[in-house]
Amino acid sequence: MEARAGKSAAKFCSGLLILGFLASFGTLHSLEVDVFVSSFELSTGQTLKIEFSVLDQEPSGLEMSWGLIPDSFVEIGARKERRGRDTVFLKEWVSRESGSFSLGPFVVSGESEDLELPPIYIVSIPDETDSPARMRWRPLDASFSVGKPSVLVLEAIHAGVLRTVDCPAPENAIISRLDEADFSGIGEEPWRIVGVWSWTPLHPGSQNAPLAVASWETSDGKSVSLISDSAIFTAARPAPDKKDERVSTEILKGFASVPTREEQIIDRGNPEDIDRLIELRRAEHESLFPAPIRKERLALEKKLSLRDSLPVPPAAWKGPAVFCSALLFFLSFCLRLIAVRRRIFIHFFHAGILVAAGLAFFAGYLYTADRRESAVALSSRLLQVPEQSSSLIDSIPPGTAVRVIASSGTWAQVETAGKIRGWITLSELAFYTRMER
């Protein structure tokens, strides 16, 4: 009997060990990644695209890092986006030299584990077509100043038919393309004008020129790409002028870097009006008679040209409504006891119960309307995922009221009155309500 009991215990322990091993083995591989490579063999000047699709994972809990990337591969694009239930990391490089190269390894980091992916081997072959030798930026202005637009001319020596020119917005400046016809006759042989841009630096000091990518079609129908040469431009700090010490918020569209204190002043338009709007919303939320405050708030929102306006819940009435409802219930039951002897009080009892129930319903409505945190957005950028390199969903005017529907670390997912959802950093939110605990 004891031998059978010992064998049963041994089998039970063995089963637990096997189940524990299988569970631990399963957790080692909870991250699943599909890798797509546009081509393992490409010509110099062509674009290499690699996509890492992390299956069934939220963007907020994922990061990606990588090992050695050869200097001959110049990064022209990197972003993280949501596709269905998956999170996709997209990387783009342009090859400048021929040879065999190893990119990586790549590491995907989740909340509880890291998954290392092996290096990707790429062969870059020389481009035998009659291609441009160079592409460069030539500034027309002798000097640059923060917040002041300057003209940059993109020039190249190329043969064939120019098809596309792409110049993504840099992190340290805002750019917009100009009409080349307005700058005819400024070319310098043997260079040919590829495009003209207005470039407005947002930071003082030295910074890299924008990275431009051009593609053209050769006589044999082959598509070839080239990136612009690197260049350094130095922007001077503007002279102090109290009447014009801020840059218009229009130049900050597409600005993707982490905002410093100086950038926050630029990005928020008129801070006095924004601060006043926050004060008005907080006062309206806490006031028992908010009509005059609401009137001033709506006038200020109209002045700031805010598209969407969330109503402020009258939270100050929550406490009085609950107190009055409980008091009426108590008095009504007291009248019900008196009505045992004097039937006339039964009518007051019914009326008191109805009014108390109405007040209880009103209090429930107030608590429901005030159940989510609300804030005023100080930034104008709503992002698709909680990353500074994320693609832009929409631009909203600073001062727009939003509801907070989720949070992740230093980020919050918000929703505007127009039902537009996006991510914004918590430092760019000024709360005027707090969630009931």
Per-residue pLDDT tens, the chain, 437 aa: give them: 445 545 555 455 455 445 554 444 444 447 899 999 988 888 777 788 899 999 988 887 788 888 888 888 887 777 888 888 888 888 888 887 888 888 989 999 888 888 999 999 998 887 655 444 578 888 888 788 888 898 988 888 766 778 888 887 776 788 888 888 887 777 777 788 888 988 888 878 777 788 888 887 777 777 777 788 877 888 887 765 544 444 444 444 444 444 443 343 334 457 788 888 888 888 887 788 888 888 888 888 888 777 667 888 777 777 787 888 788 778 777 777 776 666 666 777 777 778 878 878 777 776 666 667 888 888 778 887 887 767 777 778 888 888 888 888 888 888 888 888 888 888 888 888 765 43
Instruction: List Cβ neighbours of 217 (8 Å cut-off, separation of 6 or more).
Output: 160, 161, 163, 223, 224
Structure tokens at 18: 């096997």
For residues 384 and 382, what is the distance between their CA atoms, to the nearest angstrom? 7
Environment class of 291 (CB within 10 Å of its CB; exposed 0-12, middle 13-18, buried 19+): exposed
**Residue 351: which of 336, 368, 367, 371 has the closest Cα?**
336
Cα–Cα distances (Å) from 11 to 25, 161, 410, 422, in that order, read 21, 76, 49, 54
Environment class of 19 (CB within 10 Å of its CB; exposed 0-12, middle 13-18, buried 19+): exposed
**Residue 207: which of 184, 225, 230, 187 has the closest Cα?**
230
> Which residue type does 326 have?
A
For the chain, percent helix, then strand, then coil, each to nearest 5?
30, 35, 35
Radius of gyration of the chain (CA): 32
Alpha helices in 339-395 (DSSP H): 345-369
Cα–Cα distances (Å) from 41 to 8, 100, 122, 125, 326, in that order, read 61, 9, 6, 7, 77
Name the 3-class secondary structure at 151.
Answer: strand
Q: 256 phi and psi, to 5 degrees? A: -115, 5
CB atoms within 10 A of CB 96: 15
For residues 422 and 19, what is the distance between their CA atoms, to the nearest angstrom? 42
Name the 3-class secondary structure at 96.
Answer: coil
